[in-house]
Amino acid sequence: VSIGFNLDPRLTSDTLPVSDLPISIVRLMNDARFPWVVLVPRRSGASEILDLSSEDRHQLFNEIVQVSSAVKMICTPKKLNVATIGNIVPQLHVHVVARNEGDAAWPRPVWGVGTAEPYTQADADAFVTSLKRALAAESSR
């Protein structure tokens, strides 16, 4: 818990909780069409990577790599898409999306494509459990 930091309401409603890394809240986009993880650094008011201190920025980069490795390990995607966009939700957040040929947006990016298909509770629980395990494996390497 970081005093004074509140997750953006849109991010809160679009995602499910996964875990906390040293700087980021890790959330799963509640959209079963794509394995899609979001990192949100707990830094109030940050909208760009440039808004972070150099130290925070490097920590965020390390966590992006850690999450990317975990998602790759779980999903073995054809391609990872990693991005910070934030045109609609200004709170700094980073997307890590596992992409495969034939997925609902391929080869286009996922943002703004179609409508999210929420996970079943069982599928969400299974993915979150896998992700936590993979993140723990990555952080212990």
**Is there a contact between 119 and 34 (Cβ–Cβ < 8 Å)?**
no
- Kindly state whether residue 104 participates in binding a second copy, applying the rule CB under 8 A: no
Three-class SS state of 21: coil
- Kindly state whether residue 61 participates in binding a second copy, applying the rule CB under 8 A: yes
Residue with tokens 């703004």: 112
- The CB-of-136 to a second copy minimum distance in angstroms stands at 18
Largest CA distance in the chain: 43
**Which range of residues in 7-15, 24-32, 43-51, 124-132 is near a second copy by CB under 8 A?**
43-51
Residue with tokens 């394995």: 35
Q: How many residues bind a second copy (CB under 8 A)?
A: 31
- Kindly state whether residue 109 participates in binding a second copy, applying the rule CB under 8 A: yes
**Is there a contact between 80 and 97 (Cβ–Cβ < 8 Å)?**
yes
- Kindly state whether residue 116 participates in binding a second copy, applying the rule CB under 8 A: no
- Kindly state whether residue 33 participates in binding a second copy, applying the rule CB under 8 A: no
Residue type, 141: R
Give bridge partners of residue 37 from the DSSP assignment.
Answer: 28, 96
Residues at the site binding a second copy, with contacts judged by CB under 8 A:
47-50, 57-58, 61, 64-65, 68-69, 72, 78-88, 90, 99, 106-109, 111-112
